Amino acid sequence: MEMETQGGTGRFAPKVHPLSRSATPDDPMDLNAAAVPGDPDVLINALVQEYAWMGWDGDEIAALFHDPFYPMLHGLLEALGETGVRDRINAVFNRDGVFRFRTTVHEAPDDHDHEPEPEVVQIGAFNLKRKEQDHVDGL
């Protein structure tokens, strides 16, 4: 029996990207999940506080949301929008006053006079020529 194809020319099923297919709930290998209620505002407030506690400022935190490889925050950006994210960051900063203070220590310069001269190492290829009689696979 020949299989129907989109072009109708051959015996092969059309190649479809798996993620383009519709979900089939009765397929045991398909991912299924139940919606779990939750509040994105609680998530964004908690995360902004965590970074604020580490001394990050509003711009630094906002930049994190644009990184698609940090999907938790990126998902929030998609759900709430740029303005929504900014408003919430500002709200956390305004409410908590933000635990952020900084001490700067100016280091003394390196002591060049007493540094030992670095040892010069010559990097070169070893002699890879192998003697035929020493190796059974010598060519």
User: What are the residues binding other proteins (CB under 8 A)?
Assistant: 17, 19-20, 22-23, 29-40, 42-43, 45-47, 50, 55, 68-72, 74-76, 78-79, 96-97, 99, 101-107, 109-110, 112
Question: Which residues have C-beta within 8 Å of that of residue 89, sequence separation ≥ 6?
Answer: 48, 58, 61, 62
Closer to other proteins by CB, 20 or 83: give it. 20
Handedness of CA 112, 116, 117, 120 (dihedral sign): negative
Q: Using an 8 Å Cβ cutoff, are 53 and 61 in contact?
A: no
Q: Is the CB of 78 or the CB of 130 nearer to other proteins?
A: 78
Name which of 10 and 67 has its Cβ closer to other proteins.
67
DSSP state of 25: T
Cβ closest to other proteins, residue 34 vs residue 125: 34
Identify the CA nearest to 63 among candidates 50, 53, 46, 51: 51
Tokens linked to 47: 């995360």
CB of 14 to other proteins, least distance (A): 16
CB of 137 to other proteins, least distance (A): 24
Query: Which residue lies nearer to other proteins by CB, 103 or 127?
Result: 103
- Cα–Cα distance between 88 and 91 in angstroms, integer? 5
For 24-37, the DSSP string reads: -TT-TTS-------
